[in-house]
Structure 1
Amino acid sequence: MKETYENQISFPNINSSGMEIILEYIYTGSINEESLTKDNTIEAFYAADYFQLPDLQDFIMIVFK
């Protein structure tokens, strides 16, 4: 695996704004509603799906209903 030799891991389907939300959720166990914007909501939802975080997906759906 190339990750063994490199100091980074790539997630080609996830952009930095989506990953930022994922990291906030993983480290704190929650997300501030202010962290979700029109621009990053869809990216965050897809990233939560990719990392199999259904509680985060549910939270995103509730916030933007």
Structure 2
Amino acid sequence: MSPLLGRAALAGPIVMAVTPFYGAGVDERSFAELAAWQVDAGSSGLCVAGPAGEAPPWRRGSASA
């Protein structure tokens, strides 16, 4: 347990997720498959819309957000 958070601390690899797009939106099925594969391979978590450069073009209310 983390004394600062009052819950278990994160441990293990946390990988940057690359967002699969299809047309003007996110391919949710492919993203779910990718996330499951990462977890099955031992990843402790996924960093979504992080420093992979995907977040800046996303805007609230856009078709791809």
- TM-score between the two structures when normalised by the length of structure 2: 0.28
Please state which structure has a larger fraction of its residues in helix: 1
TM-score, normalised with respect to structure 1: 0.28
Task: Say which structure is richer in strand.
Answer: 2
